Structure 1
């Protein structure tokens, strides 16, 4: 729950700023803000685990009960690459067509991540929190 609120708390202001600068005709600034926000979110998710293993209890690893973490991280990196390719094909212009493409990419990413985490796709059975 905390990671979801952290991601939403950092992404919503970045989205608003990206929309504002895109309306001013600065599409390159909006794109760099979008990609920078995604990279920041991915890097900051590992910070609590680093602090736990480096300073709090260096002798024990942090157990992460997520079977889809590697899949989700790789999917995020692929979605950033697809975003750059789609923007390049669109002539580095942000318009409704690119916005629709980005929305579709996000829906596909979120759907695949949820299905993988739930064990519906892939070879990962669903595990409970205590196991």
Structure 2
């Protein structure tokens, strides 16, 4: 990562991203900022790769840092936080996630459900789900947390 991120480096952005993925998969936060940036800007394109790499960084410390950084009341920040927590969050995030399962915003509710799935069952995020299914899944997760 030091070579990829070195000032004056001729590494392309994609190469830096791949180096950051390797670092994360090996348990190093060295390229984490780049991965967070990609997750926030291009979730649909990088989700599968991050699903493989970020669980190696799962910790209460990182969970708390993500909540402090993104867990405000702005909708997209909450969705970004929940998406990241689904991959590297711990049960320490449940007090943050549980109220969001009641959100009237479908994208927040779905992201909260996926965060629970990732943290508790180590399952990948769900794709499209109906409003009815999201309500039922949210109820089940609230009972479990």
The TM-score with structure 1 as length reference comes to 0.29
Higher RCO structure, 1 or 2 (CA under 8 Å, sep 6+)? 1
Structure showing greater radius of gyration is 1
